[in-house]
Amino acid sequence: MGCIEELKSEVLAKGLTFKECRELISKTCPRVYLIEPGTKLFGEGIIGPPPIVIGTDGTIVVFPYVKPCHGTFVLKIEDPVEAARLSSFAKPYTK
């Protein structure tokens, strides 16, 4: 798919720790999954300390995104294909 920064996204938060990202995503998304670092999301390997929490709400995917030299962001992207793909392989996270 290319660079995540080129996708239409909404920044929900920035400058959070991964623990804070996990808490935010768990509170705002009805479905939450765990993935390992390097797992591809939107065609790009996601980085961070394992396990990484990713949330979905219908066709919306919410995830932490590390931008080197700028910190960690929580992004929200609407993509029904990626939301369905994520639910097909990722391990569900129990809140």
Residue 95 — very low, low, confident or very high, per pLDDT cuts 50/70/90?
low
Contact (CB, 8 A) for 47 and 68:
no
Show Cβ contacts of residue 60 under 8 Å, excluding neighbours closer than 6 positions: 76, 77, 78, 79, 83
Per-residue pLDDT tens over the stretch 60-81: 999 999 887 888 999 999 999 9
Q: Is the pLDDT of residue 12 over 90?
A: yes
- pLDDT, tens only, 30-49: 999 999 999 999 988 999 99
Global confidence as pTM = 0.91
